Structure 1
């Protein structure tokens, strides 16, 4: 089982004044967190694309490039690239560059994106939400499959055609791992299996084990399409936080979780959950993995029994979580949770 962290580059507040900090500092904090995750033996760190004042990680590949030069073993990926509003050629080139700088540790997770700020920002229509994604993912896969020196000719609906085009640099080991991200759509699960892509389930509410039928659908679709091997695998991305004690972790992170929803909720037309709902999600089989190292290890192991997933990554820095608490949670995940999970499920 691989364990890791993903982040949207949460901006902190000044503890004395309450003023929102700088987006520049948020990027430096993000690099510090990746470096620590590498040092404590975590397997993966992903940066998710967002374009807001509170979550400004809009150019994750740039941060990953800096991390590539200052880390040793951790895999570095996007979590996710909002492919609908990006160019597959540039996405591939940027991550192939990270791959070169990291000696083959880069990955792409491509998704539609749960937030839509990038659509007006880059001049795309929300009415094309699904069609943009499918066309661009198909092009990205074709680019990724090119042999060294091979060129591509392609034509679609949403970008200019390509005629005998060369796309460089190439990935260190021939191809980049490209994951398909989904929030729980059966159609996306089936499509990922048909395409032979590994799948990432973003689980941000409800019982995590409810994704078991989707994982089964994904694997069945892959088998039906003739796909097998290492690419047919499941990852889980969900919110979580680890503290020294179970109750201490839940009390601390509730402040961050409620703060996040107080700003995010109105923008999305929803009301943030009350403390009672948060406790249910964090205490049992819900999607919030908040607690002590032993508790989080037990929950990862239990979820593996339902999904058979090979990677789990936690989003810890929400609601302006202080950097020291973010770093401590990463440290506990690597030094205390991971050994427990490895002992039960095997080292990654």
Structure 2
């Protein structure tokens, strides 16, 4: 998909991870919620296109009610698009999710968008009384219902995971299809094909390895869109990063935070903690966009060319990262990285 550099969406993602202040004090949950709202305002002021908030139910992550945070941001911004990254659709009610999204869209004057996914962190399943054995069925049926609600009301629907609907209208109303709804995929071909079958944009969550290894998924998605009779739709990438004046400064700031987080996750999931060598490789050519503005911009431009992306989202927060580091990443991304990526892509089209 040949996308004009001016049309590519550049976003920032927060997973609601608790920050620290300049003295190293861990902020309270409430302070972090307020910080995220301030960071979204900053993102708009420096030219970022979109700001998205995830959905998690773990200690140290305050994004469980992401639409509430996004609504607060809507009241303090005027241009930036506001979305989720990602909504755990499997344990949400599609009717409620539609109503929240449509209300956010009204409050923000048409700036709402969604990324929905099956969840890699599954704390919400026992929390809301769902069985992991129903993982696939829950997502498939709920995506079907949500898509119908977004596209054509009134809706008549019947499934196995919630009560049926009979000519149901859910308010507030929207123009059919006016809220962009992406499907987040971590690496399953079946999920890629599902997104294409429903005619929804694809967001690739690339958090390890070179982005180029996801090229077969992007190709599969585009072939599947054609086979299902849908027009071309954008592919996006979600990856993690930190931006500082120099590569060395960025890595020195990011590495201890990354090592602590990945050691904790590795203990939970049974994989080894990252080594400095593995980390360096991931920041030089892998999925970690950590470095100086020119370095990060060149790597984002390369990912866009390789995968034919129409959207790139950078997750900027990391557990206990100092708020000053978060702020600097947001500023440099908006003022230096995004304009430079557009320049690099435009040069490549000449």
The TM-score normalised by the length of structure 1 is 0.94
Please give the alpha-carbon distance, in whole angstroms, between the structure 2 residues aligned to 1:24 and 1:233. 36
Match of 2:219 among 192, 216, 221: 216
Q: In the alignment, which residue of structure 2 is the partner of 1:312? A: 312
Q: Which residue of 2 aligns with 1:259?
A: 260
Counterparts of 2:20 and 2:339, CA distance in 1: 33
Equivalences for residues 220-259 of structure 1 within 5 A? 220-229=223-232, 232-259=233-260
Q: Distance in 1 between matches of 2:174 and 2:212?
A: 35
Give the alignment's Cα RMSD to 1 decimal: 1.6
Matches within 5 A, 1:1-348: 1-13=8-20, 16=23, 20-146=26-152, 150-171=153-174, 175-229=178-232, 232-283=233-284, 285-345=285-345
**Partners of 1:142 and 1:244 in 2: how far apart?**
47
Contact kept, 8 Å, 1:180 with 1:200, in 2: the verdict is yes
User: Take 2:26 and 2:68, find their aligned partners in 1: how far apart are those partners?
Assistant: 23
| Contact 1:235–1:312 under 8 Å retained in 2 | yes
In the alignment, the residues of structure 2 paired with residue 313 and residue 189 of structure 1 have an alpha-carbon distance, to the nearest angstrom, of 18
For structure 1, the residue ranges without an aligned partner over 5 or more in a row are none
SS at match of 2:119: coil
Q: CA deviation at 1:13?
A: 4.0
**SS class of match (2:12):** strand
CA contact (8 A) 1:258 1:273 kept: yes
Preserved CA contact (<8 Å) 2:14 2:315: yes
Counterpart CA distance in 1 for 2:93 and 2:301 is 38
Deviation at 1:259, TM superposition (A): 1.9
Structure 1 position 15, deviation (Å): 6.0
- Give SS of 2:109's match: coil
Moved more, 172-181 or 324-333: 172-181
Measured after TM superposition, the shift of residue 266 of structure 1 is 2.1
CA distance in structure 2 between the partners assigned to 1:174 and 1:262 by the alignment: 41
Deviation at 1:173, TM superposition (A): 7.1
Could you tell me whether the CA contact under 8 Å between 1:104 and 1:173 is conserved in 2? no
TM-score (norm 2): 0.93
CA–CA distance in structure 2, aligned partners of residues 34 and 52 of structure 1: 22
Q: 8 Å contact 2:242–2:329 — kept in the other structure? A: yes
Structure 2 alignment gaps of length 5 or more: 1-7
- Comparing 129-138 with 159-168, greater Cα deviation is found at 159-168
Write the deviation string for residues 105-142 of structure 1: whole angstroms up to 9, x where unpaired.
10011100110000000000000111100100000000
Say how many residue pairs are matched: 340
